[in-house]
């Protein structure tokens, strides 16, 4: 069906729920809280889980694709950080946030089931929501963490934590973890009760705008996050005792991935690192052709996939850091790849979403975006989803497309 460049605001069953923007103080509860015991695991979160490995090896992708539909007006600003990525709820809805300050729940047929105008802060939401306890959790650039009812979009609670949140929340055993920024610049990492929004724990030694998304590695007993000061910070988990830092000398902007007892991450030092989680010792550092904002994907076969701002996606050996292949995708990469059974998906400034083979890095197909593609692709059983940013024409004040949510399906 041809639903290109429509917003579906008149769709049957869609509900618009108006939230309250701006700073509301330490804690404000609207509509109560989920009336059920907190879950041990999240239903969905950024990069497929708390270790942020970015793999969906149970999924396959079509050999050729077409855009089924797109919904505009999701992202309208020009901030250069990676934009939020879609996640799939247990009921099949696609939940996504935008820099307009809205949260959306969209059915696979493109119907907007609900749309919540949650915050009017500049830059809105950049973080990817997590879903647990039949609730949607996400932080905003007003420095608050929000919880919304998954079924209706009603706001459960809003907890003011700092001046800005650009990272994505993590979850385990009824607690939400989030990195928070302050204007100083400084920052911190927080743990909040998922049901009430109350702060359980914080450590404010994390400095200089921690935009990075934390990883929780239960097997290794570690919680780790990066920051603009160039340091990787580590705590024991679940008791959250501070342990060590590892310094790269340049900002760590992207999410941290953990696997096999190590943290994998990039830095503006133009390097990708593997650092042991036990004591924070460097195991290898591989220099790429440009700075790294992309978060690495690490598959169980021992390959690390990561992009740089010099427009290359790389496959590196997880044990040694040696390059296996590098593919020019046509534009800088600041978002994260997603690894499926046989392919790697990644967006770029080209602007497009590319599918490459895992073994050689050969391009299989590409889908054009109107704006820069900086989200992490979502792969479901019957489709692919991604978002882009506002087009250059729109940002220049013209009548060009604003950032959209795309559904991509097999080309019949």
- The pLDDT, as a whole number, for residue 234 is 98
Q: What is the pLDDT of residue 396?
A: 79
Q: What is the pTM of this model?
A: 0.92
Which pLDDT does position 358 carry in this prediction? 97
Secondary structure percentages of the chain, helix, strand, coil, to 5: 0, 45, 55
The pLDDT, as a whole number, for residue 23 is 35
222-226 and 231-236 strand pairing: antiparallel
Cβ burial of 106 (10 Å; 0-12, 13-18, 19+) is buried
Token pair of 255, please? 């999410």
- 30-61 pLDDT, tens per residue? 456 777 789 999 999 999 999 999 999 999 99
Q: Give the pLDDT confidence score for residue 24 in this predicted structure.
A: 35
The domains found in the chain, sorted by start residue, are: 15-31+45-410 (2.130.10.10)
What is the spatial distance between Cα 276 and Cα 246, in angstroms, rounded to a whole number?
10
Strand partners, 224: 215, 234
The list of the chain residues with pLDDT below 70 reads: 1-32
**pLDDT at residue 32, as a whole number:** 63
| pLDDT computed for residue 31 by the predictor | 52
């Amino acid at each position: 069906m041809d639903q290109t460049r429509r917003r579906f605001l008149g769709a049957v069953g869609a509900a618009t729920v108006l939230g309250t923007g701006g700073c509301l103080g330490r804690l404000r509860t609207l509509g109560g809280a989920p009336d059920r015991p907190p879950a041990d695991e999240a239903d969905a979160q950024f990069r497929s889980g708390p270790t942020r490995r970015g793999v969906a090896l149970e999924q396959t992708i079509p050999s050729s694709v077409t855009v089924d539909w797109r919904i505009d007006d999701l992202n309208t600003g020009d901030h250069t950080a990676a934009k939020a990525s879609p996640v799939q709820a247990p009921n099949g809805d696609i939940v996504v946030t935008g820099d307009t300050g809205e949260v959306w729940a969209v059915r696979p047929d493109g119907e907007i089931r609900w749309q919540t105008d949650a915050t009017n802060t500049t830059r809105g939401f950049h973080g990817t929501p997590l879903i647990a306890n039949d609730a949607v959790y996400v932080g905003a650039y007003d420095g608050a963490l929000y919880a919304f009812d998954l079924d209706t979009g009603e706001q459960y609670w809003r907890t003011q934590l700092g001046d800005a949140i650009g990272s994505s929340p993590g979850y385990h055993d009824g607690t939400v973890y989030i990195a928070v920024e302050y204007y100083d610049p400084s920052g911190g990492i927080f743990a909040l009760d998922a049901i009430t929004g109350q702060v359980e724990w914080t450590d404010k030694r994390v400095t200089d705008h921690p935009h990075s998304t934390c990883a929780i590695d239960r097997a290794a007993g570690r919680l780790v996050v990066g920051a603009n000061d160039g340091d990787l910070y580590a705590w024991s988990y679940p008791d959250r005792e501070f342990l060590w830092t590892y310094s790269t000398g340049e900002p760590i902007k992207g999410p941290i991935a953990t696997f096999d007892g190590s943290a994998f991450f990039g830095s503006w030092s133009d390097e990708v690192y593997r650092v042991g989680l036990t004591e924070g010792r460097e195991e290898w550092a591989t220099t790429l052709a440009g700075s790294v904002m992309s978060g690495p994907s690490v598959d169980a076969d021992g390959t690390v996939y990561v992009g740089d701002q010099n427009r290359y996606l790389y496959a590196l050996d997880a044990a040694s850091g040696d390059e296996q292949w590098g593919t020019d995708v046509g534009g800088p990469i600041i978002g994260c790849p997603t690894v499926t059974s046989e392919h790697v998906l990644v967006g770029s400034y080209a602007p497009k979403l590319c599918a490459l083979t895992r073994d050689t890095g050969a391009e299989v197909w590409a889908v054009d975006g109107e704006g820069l593609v900086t989200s992490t692709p979502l792969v479901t059983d019957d489709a692919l989803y991604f978002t882009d940013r506002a087009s250059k024409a729109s940002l220049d004040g013209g009548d060009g497309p604003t950032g959209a949510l795309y559904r991509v399906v097999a080309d019949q």
